[in-house]
Amino acid sequence: MKKYVFHVLILFFAVCLAMIPGEIRGQSAGRACQSCHSDTAFTGGFAASVHGNNACTSCHTGIHDIARHSSGEKKSDPVRCASCHREVARSFRTDAHAVTQNMTCTDCHQKIHTLAKADKPAKVSVQEKCVRCHDPGDYALMGHGRAVAAGNADSATCTDCHSLHGIAAAKGVTGKELALQKEVFTARCKSCHADPGVAKRNDLSTAIADTYDQAYHGKVLAVGEPERVAGCADCHTGHNTLASSDPKSALHPDNLSVSCKTCHTTMHERFVSFEAHPGAVKGKTYTALHIAEGFMILLLAGVFAFFWLHTALWWRRSYLDKCRRRKAGFIEDSLALECREEKQIQRFTMTQRVMHVLLILSFFTLVGTGFPIKYSETAWAKVLVNIWGGPHMAGIFHRIAALVLCGLFLYTLWLSIRFLFPGGQIKGWLGRLFGPDSLFPNLKDLQDIKGMFLWFFGRGPMPKFDRWTYWEKFDFLAVFWGMTAIGLSGFMLWFPGHFSYVVPGWVINIATIVHSEEAFLAAVFIFTVHFFNNHIVPNKFPLEPNVFTGRYRLDQMREERPLEYERMVALGKLESLKREGPGLWTQLFASVFGLGSLVLGLVLLVLIFWAVLFY
């Protein structure tokens, strides 16, 4: 009977509670619950906790019959934090702690009935919670963690990098998950290290982030395959962000070799002198890199200053001459290739024509696969890389094209040796080297340069040329310089670890500069100067097809290379050079392939200048 009366009183008390305002009702209901649940875990500090204004039944739901609950027959439903914290719960469903460890809210938010706002900085509080399970020596005593504990509000705590309730798995991830992880972590590192305010307050340099973006790893990450290159956390080993002067740092000289070998399994100890962030460390000199950069800038400036001026003056003079001919009533040449019956003069052999086509194909492949990496920050870079099938496939095509170009270079070198020493004959090699059939410069070329500039300004006639002009000789010799510079540096970048057995690691930094700037020089020179000299010059526009057909008209030879014509006539060799005119299919190939290459080159030139001017 006494038990029945007690239950009735409890029910009456519950009805009364329903009629009391919310805040007061919650406190009163809490006191009612605490009449039974009187342990200090429930009573001590609950009113002052973050949930103090909530009634017990806000979390402990499903209690509809006090008698059954009091008797222990009916317990409350499982607590569901998600009923209030919906967004947090939605994020936590994919959290590594929930998925792999089956953890719940209270594993981190312990003593929930007395949970109060932290009386210390949030970053410190988060760090203390994480190290309950995670080894404090791995993070809390290393780099960022040490700075957070010391009160540095700029330093990253666990949730700054890993987020709060949607933490991704850190180990065993591959493929797209690994790619996403590297992108996310690297972006979060840069969000602080590229911030001028953070850098200034902590005596850091934003160049750390900038130089990563300009290095190979950062460029490939930007165009779409971060899983194939190192992100920030790969070299700095995530939690160990100690200064390189600290013996515990992964970047300390004593530990750096081990860190590098994580990816570069084949390498000499001297590889560690490679600068991952060249120019970014305060107080450190980079003399060799500055010299290399300065030399390449002077080379580019000198070549472009001379030949762009040469091109502009030539175009002006040719255009003026063409206008005069039009006014005089001369018939303009047709833009279409002509199919004539008379015989033509052979200028290039079949071997030379095939070599030139291979040269064009390999060159365009190298530009199309290399420049999206060079200008990875541009809008068009990722589009162009995806055309090749992604950065990895683009890299394969790049290397295949490079090997083709190296093969052409070596074969050209062999042909040059055969030209100088025919049949092993040494006698007369100097005459052949400076002779009219040689592509090596001689004194007449200097005279022709002077005569050409006089002609530009109407101070004299256009020089008479032999088989090769001075600009054609420059094109040819530039291949020898260019292939040596770009080829050797390219192989260094392809096999950096292997080359460290021959040269120190900082030479790889120089190779990066040389390879990039020489590629820019080659591409822009070909698409501006070479295209103009051979195709866009007014008297040849839109295309000079003889490099594809191998032949040109006799009147062209007399006009463009009068000294060669006179020499062939004097030697009685002119007739032996005459061939049948190119057939329809040859001319069609010359038109389609030649004009297609010209248009493609100009499109790539626009993209390159877009990158230079706007990025």
pLDDT band of residue 351 (cuts 50, 70, 90) is: very high
Express each pLDDT in 93-131 by its tens digit: 988 899 888 999 988 888 888 888 877 888 999 888 888
256 belongs to a structural domain: yes
Q: Identify whether the C-beta of residue 332 lies closer than 8 Å to the C-beta of residue 538.
A: no
State the average pLDDT over residues 28-40: 71
Could you tell me which residue, 45 or 5, shows the higher pLDDT? 45
Same domain, 48 and 73: yes
Residues 142, 180, single domain; the answer is: no
- Name the average pLDDT for the chain: 88
Indicate whether 221 and 277 sit together in one domain. yes
Mean pLDDT along residues 56-61: 85
- Does 180 lie in the same domain as 132? no
Q: Angle 67-72-76 (CA atoms, 0-180°, nearest 5)?
A: 85
Q: Is 179 a member of any domain?
A: yes
Considering the domain architecture, whether residues 161 and 260 belong to the same structural domain is answered as: no
Report the distance separating Cα 66 and Cα 423, nearest Å: 113
Amino acid residing at 252: H
Structure-block tokens of residue 512: 């990066």
Ramachandran category for residue 386: left, alpha or beta (phi over 0 → left; psi -120 to 50 → alpha): alpha
Asked whether residue 489 is domain-assigned, the answer is no
Among left, alpha and beta (phi > 0; psi -120 to 50; other), residue 182 is alpha
Query: Which pLDDT score is estimated for 26?
Result: 46
Most confident of 43-52, 278-287, 393-402: 393-402
Q: Residue 551: enclosing H or E segment and its boundaries?
A: strand 551-552
Question: Which of 46, 79, 112 is the C-terminal boundary of a domain?
Answer: 79
For residue 534, the 8-state DSSP code is: I
- Residue identified by tokens 């120190």 is 504
What does each C-alpha distance from 125 to 47, 108, 170, 502 come to in angstroms? 22, 11, 22, 51
- Say whether both 187 and 261 belong to one domain: yes
- pLDDT band of 548, cuts 50, 70, 90: very high
Six token digits for residue 47: 């009113």
pLDDT score of 12 more than 80:
no
Average pLDDT (82-91) is 90
Are 177 and 278 contained in the same domain?
yes
- Do residue 191 and residue 144 come from a single domain? no
Between residues 486 and 114, the one the model is more confident about: 486
pLDDT value, residue 25: 44
> What pLDDT does 414 receive?
96
Q: Which of 39-53, 180-194, 487-501 has the highest mean pLDDT?
A: 487-501
> Quick one: pLDDT band at residue 23, thresholds 50, 70, 90?
very low
2 vs 474, which has greater pLDDT? 474
Cβ 497 vs Cβ 267: under 8 Å: yes
At residue 479, the pLDDT reads 85
The reply to whether omega before 542 is within 30° of 0 (cis) is yes
Report the 10 Å Cβ neighbour count for 401.
21
In a domain, 104, yes or no: yes
Strand partners, 552: 345
Of 167, 184, 205, the residue at which a domain comes to its end is: 167
Instruction: Show the domain range for 48.
Output: 2-79
Q: Say yes or no: 196 and 267 in one domain.
A: yes
Which of 255-259, 322-326, 598-602 shows the lowest mean pLDDT across its residues? 322-326
Sign (positive/negative) of CA torsion 56, 62, 66, 70? negative
Q: Are 595 and 337 in contact (CB under 8 A)?
A: no
| Sequential DSSP letters for 190-201 | HHHHT-HHHHHH
Task: Reply yes or no on whether the pLDDT at 338 is more than 60.
Answer: no
- CA–CA dist 333, 539 (Å, integer): 8
Q: Render 338-349 in DSSP notation, one character per residue.
A: P--SS-EEE-S-
Instruction: Work out the average pLDDT over 561-575.
Output: 96
For residue 4, the model assigns a pLDDT of: 52
Distance between CA 420 and CA 438 in Å, rounded? 9
Torsion of CA 64, 65, 69, 73, to 10 degrees: -110
The number of folded domains in the chain is 3
Q: Is residue 590 part of a domain?
A: no
Checking if the pLDDT of 224 tops 50, the result is yes
Who has greater pLDDT, 55 or 451?
451
Q: Which helix (H) or strand (E) holds 578?
A: strand 578-579
* Final residue before a domain boundary, out of 259, 284, 309: 284
Of 146 and 38, the structure prediction assigns the larger pLDDT to 146
186/251 same-domain check: yes
**Of the ranges 60-64, 143-147, 436-440, 455-459, which one carries the lowest mean pLDDT score?**
60-64
Residue 10 domain-assigned (yes or no):
yes
Angle CA(358)–CA(379)–CA(509) in degrees, nearest 5? 65
pLDDT over threshold 70, residue 525: yes
The answer, yes or no, to whether residue 175 has pLDDT greater than 90, is no
Per the listing, tokens 């199309």 go with 368
Is residue 129 included in any domain, yes or no?
A: yes
Same domain, 40 and 104: no
Considering the domain boundaries, does residue 185 fall inside one? yes
What does the pLDDT read at residue 510? Answer: 96
Domain shared by 111 and 128, yes or no: yes
In the chain, the percentage of residues whose pLDDT exceeds 70 is 92
Average the pLDDT over each of 13-17, 209-213, 464-468 and give the range with the smallest value.
13-17
> Is 11 a residue whose pLDDT tops 80?
no
In this prediction, residue 540 carries a pLDDT of 86
- Bigger pLDDT: 488 or 285? 488
Return the pLDDT at 39. Answer: 76
162 compared with 303, residue with greater pLDDT: 303
Q: What pLDDT does residue 30 have? A: 61
**Mean pLDDT value of segment 556-563:** 95
